[in-house]
A and B are shown apart, each in its own frame.
Chain A
Amino acid sequence: DAKTTQPTSMDCAEGRAANLPCNHSTISGNEYVYWYRQIHSQGPQYIIHGLKNNETNEMASLIITEDRKSSTLILPHATLRDTAVYYCIVRVQMEYGNKLVFGAGTILRVKS
C-alpha cells in the first residue's frame, strides 16, 4: 500500500495561507489522494480529494505534482478554528470496496 509522509507539526499566522505538504512517492496510478482533519476530541472530517488535477472547494485547495509523488493542501486564510491534525491519505482500491490508508498527520497550530 502507498504510504504518506507529512511533517509532524507546523505553525501558521492567523489570516495567512497554510500550506501543508505530503509525500506519497509510492502512490499507484489509480489511487486518490484525500485530506482529512481532526479537531480535538472529534472524529476526522473530509476536506478534499484529487487524482491528478488540482482541486478547490469552499474549504481548501489541493495541488498535486505532475508526477503525483507529492501534494500540498492549502488553507487560503487560516483561522484559529483551523487548528487541528491534518491527515494526507491514499485511497487504495481493493477487489471489493476500497480503504483509506492514513499517515501520522500534521499538527497545524494557527496563532493570532
Chain B
Amino acid sequence: DVKVTQSSRYLVKRTGEKVFLECVQDMDHENMFWYRQDPGLGLRLIYFSYDVKMKEKGDIPEGYSVSREKKERFSLILESASTNQTSMYLCASSLIQGGHTEAFFGQGTRLTVV
C-alpha cells in the first residue's frame, strides 16, 4: 500500500516561529501537494510539486514556502507563523498512470499557533 506519512499529528507553535511540516511518501510519486483544511472551506491548495526542486503555487501560497530536495520528501515551511495559520494541513502524493491521477493523503497535521 502507498503510504504518505506526515511527521506530526498535532503541533503547537508560537506566533513568529518558523515552522516545518514534513511529508514523506514511499511510492516514487512525481506529484506532491500541500493543502490546508478549514471548516466550511474544504481543502485549499497551498503549493504543489511535480518533480524534485520544482514547485508551483496553489490557491493560497501567501505566508508559506516549500522545499523538495528529494523525490520522496516535500516540506511545507511557515516562515513566521501567525494565528490565522492555525489549521489542519494535509499532504498528498500522486502518480499519473494512463491519464488517471489518484492522490493518496497523509493523516494530517493539526497545527495550532498561539
Q: Which residues of A contact B (CB under 8 A)?
A: 32, 34, 36, 41-46, 49, 87, 91, 94, 96-105
Contact = CB atoms under 8 A, between A and B. Distances in A.
Given A43-B92, A99-B45, A100-B101, A94 B107 contact: no
Given A96-B54, A100-B33, A104-B41, A91 B101 contact: yes
Nearest to B50: A97
30 contacts: A32-B101, A34-B101, A41-B107, A41-B108, A42-B107, A42-B108, A43-B90, A43-B92, A43-B106, A43-B107, A44-B90, A46-B102, A46-B103, A46-B104, A49-B100, A49-B102, A87-B42, A94-B50, A94-B56, A96-B51, A96-B54, A97-B31, A98-B96, A100-B33, A100-B94, A100-B101, A100-B103, A102-B43, A102-B45, A103-B42
Where chain B touches its partner, the secondary structure class is: strand
Interface of B: 4, 30-31, 33, 35, 40-45, 48, 50-51, 54, 56, 58-59, 90, 92, 94, 96, 99-108
A42, A94, A98, A100: residue with the most chain B Cβ atoms closer than 10 Å: A100
A76 B53 CA distance: 44
B94 to A, nearest CB: 8
A103 B35 CA distance: 12
Contacts of B42: 87, 102-105
A24 to B, nearest CB: 14
A94 to B, nearest CB: 7
Nearest to A100: B103
Given A91-B101, A102-B44, 10 more contacts: A34-B101, A43-B107, A45-B105, A94-B56, A96-B56, A97-B30, A97-B31, A97-B50, A100-B92, A102-B35
Q: Name which of A43, A87, A99 has the most chain B CB atoms within 10 A of its CB.
A: A43
